[in-house]
């Protein structure tokens, strides 16, 4: 009788151990699968970025996860003047001509906002944009750096567009580094 | 029949050109005393902001530097940058659109220039601050 009880107990212990052991293994496997999935997603999104140097793949991966982003804000009022329209037009031209891949990747974003609309009050207040304004902001590791290009916009966008484009292009290129 | 039409057209055209030109303001009273030129360039089709900048520039000078303006220590240039007659000035001061700039003079020669365009568009929505800060900047140039 005692022998039967001991055998049953042993079987129970072994079954329990086996069950928990299997469960642990399964958990580990799931985590591993998850890790792999994340890595694959990151790798995929990074693969879509153009290579910039000859660093090995892993090195590139680490570099590109932390790339700066550039936000370009064209603020305007409801009744727009020719200069204001010219600034937006030249800005869009600059981005489409020189930063089309960065636009697709989301590394460069353009926002055309009417400061007279309530929905834009907060962002207009942040940039102190009460009328027409052009601001370029670099976002990197939670830090923002902004250049106010409003003056250059009014000076050059209408009658010296190529100079305006050069100024804006250089600023964005610098900010993407 | 054609001649009167052409003459009328040319007359209207010349009136248009001269009336545009007459909008420019150039106050330069004595080149020997000159210490500072205040420039404000604008395009032909102006917006309210552009008009406001000119208004506050004029107010700053009229209310604080009228004497210097009269003596020729300060000169004021309000000019349309799109007029062919102003092409050389536009090129010299890189003023192809609305542009506010201060240029100091020493012994009749240009010394330091400061481009205040960006500043002007930022401050124009608060006239008191605009005028106070522009006054300080001009005073700094005249020291």
For chain A, the domains span: 2-60, 67-176
E-state strands within B7-142: 25-27, 36-42, 74-80, 99-106, 109-115
Q: Is A161 on the interface with B (CB under 8 A)?
A: no
Q: Tell me which residue of B49, B44, B47 sits closest to B121, measured CA to CA.
A: B49
- Kindly report, residue by residue over A119-130, the tens digit of the pLDDT: 999 999 999 998
For B126, the closest chain A residue by CA position comes to: A130
Q: Report the alpha-carbon distance of residue B102 to residue B76 in Å, rounded.
A: 10
Q: What is the pLDDT of residue B6?
A: 59
Q: Is A126 on the interface with B (CB under 8 A)?
A: no
Q: How many CB pairs below 8 A link A and B?
A: 67
- pLDDT of residue A56 exceeding 90, the answer is no
Query: How would you list the strands of the sheet with B36-42, edge to edge?
Result: B25-27, B74-80, B36-42, B99-106, B109-115
Chain A nearest-CA distance from B123, in A, is 10
Using alpha carbons only, give the angle A146, A160, B24 rounded to the nearest 5 degrees: 105
Q: What is the CA radius of gyration of chain B?
A: 17
For chain B, the domains span: 24-142
**Residues of A with Cβ-Cβ distance to B115 under 8 angstroms:** 151
Predicted confidence band of residue A26 (pLDDT cuts 50, 70, 90): very low
pTM of this prediction? 0.71
Q: Do B42 and B142 touch, CB atoms closer than 8 A?
A: no
User: Mean pLDDT, to the nearest integer, of B131-143?
Assistant: 96
- pLDDT of residue B11 exceeding 90, the answer is no
Q: Is A82 on the interface with B (CB under 8 A)?
A: yes
- Give backbone dihedrals phi and psi of A28, rounded to 5 degrees, phi first: -60, -45
Q: What is the pLDDT of residue B2?
A: 59
CATH for B24-142 (3.30.70.920, 3.40.930.10, 3.40.50.970, 3.40.30.10): 3.40.30.10
**Residues of B with Cβ-Cβ distance to A152 under 8 angstroms:** 117-118
Predicted confidence band of residue A70 (pLDDT cuts 50, 70, 90): very high
User: Mean pLDDT, to the nearest integer, of A7-27?
Assistant: 45
* N-term to C-term CA, chain B: 65
Q: Do B43 and B81 touch, CB atoms closer than 8 A?
A: yes
Question: Does the distance separating the beta carbons of A83 and B96 come in below 8 Å?
Answer: no
Q: What is the pLDDT of residue B23?
A: 83
Residue B130 in tokens: 């605009």
Question: Does the distance separating the beta carbons of A133 and B117 come in below 8 Å?
Answer: no
Q: What is the pLDDT of residue A17?
A: 43
* Residue of A74, A85, A115, A155 to mutate, interface with B, max B Cβ within 10 Å: A155
- pLDDT of residue B74 exceeding 60, the answer is yes
- pLDDT of residue B42 exceeding 90, the answer is yes
Q: What is the pLDDT of residue A66?
A: 84
**Residues of A with Cβ-Cβ distance to B49 under 8 angstroms:** 81, 131-132
Question: Does the distance separating the beta carbons of A130 and B97 come in below 8 Å?
Answer: no
Q: What is the pLDDT of residue A9?
A: 54
Q: Looking at per-residue confidence, does A148 or A47 come out higher?
A: A148
User: Mean pLDDT, to the nearest integer, of B67-96?
Assistant: 95
Q: What is the pLDDT of residue B103?
A: 97
Question: Does the distance separating the beta carbons of B121 and A131 come in below 8 Å?
Answer: yes
Considering only CB atoms, B122 lies closest to which of A80, A83, A150, namely A150
Q: Report the alpha-carbon distance of residue A7 to residue A10 in Å, rounded.
A: 5
- pLDDT of residue A88 exceeding 80, the answer is yes
CATH for A67-176 (3.40.50.720, 3.40.630.10, 3.60.20.10, 3.40.30.10): 3.40.30.10
ipTM value, please give it.
0.79
- pLDDT of residue A48 exceeding 70, the answer is no
Work out whether strand A69-76 and strand A108-114 pair parallel, antiparallel, or are unpaired: parallel
User: Mean pLDDT, to the nearest integer, of A59-63?
Assistant: 49
Question: Does the distance separating the beta carbons of A157 and B122 come in below 8 Å?
Answer: no
């Amino acid at each position: 009788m005692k022998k039967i009880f001991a055998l049953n107990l042993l079987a129970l212990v072994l079954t329990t151990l086996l069950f928990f052991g299997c469960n642990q293994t399964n958990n580990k496997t799931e985590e591993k699968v998850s890790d792999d999935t994340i890595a694959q997603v990151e790798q995929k999104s990074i693969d879509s970025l153009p290579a910039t140097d000859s660093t090995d793949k892993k090195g590139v991966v680490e570099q590109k996860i932390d790339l700066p982003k550039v936000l370009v804000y064209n603020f305007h009022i409801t009744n727009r003047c020719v200069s204001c329209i010219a600034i937006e037009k030249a800005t869009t031209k600059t981005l489409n001509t020189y930063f089309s891949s960065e636009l697709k990747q989301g590394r460069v974003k353009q926002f055309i906002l009417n400061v007279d609309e309530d929905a834009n009050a907060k962002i207009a207040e942040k940039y102190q944009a009460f009328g027409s304004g052009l601001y370029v902001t670099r976002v990197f590791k939670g830090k923002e750096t902004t250049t106010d290009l409003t003056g250059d916009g009014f000076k050059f966008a209408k009658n010296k567009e190529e100079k305006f484009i050069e100024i804006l292009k250089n600023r964005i290129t610098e900010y993407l580094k | 029949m054609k001649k009167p039409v052409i003459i009328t057209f040319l007359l209207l055209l010349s009136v248009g050109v001269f009336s545009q030109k007459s909008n420019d303001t150039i106050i330069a009273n004595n080149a020997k005393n000159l210490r500072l030129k205040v420039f404000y360039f604008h395009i032909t089709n102006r917006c309210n902001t552009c008009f406001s900048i000119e208004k506050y520039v004029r107010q700053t000078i009229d209310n604080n530097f009228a004497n210097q303006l009269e003596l020729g220590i300060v000169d004021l240039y309000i000019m349309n940058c799109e007029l062919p007659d102003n092409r050389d000035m536009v090129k010299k001061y890189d003023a192809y659109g609305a542009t506010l700039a201060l240029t100091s003079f020493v012994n009749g020669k240009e010394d330091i220039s400061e481009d205040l365009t960006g500043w002007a568009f930022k401050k124009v929505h608060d006239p008191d601050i605009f005028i106070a800060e522009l006054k300080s900047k001009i005073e700094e140039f005249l020291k």
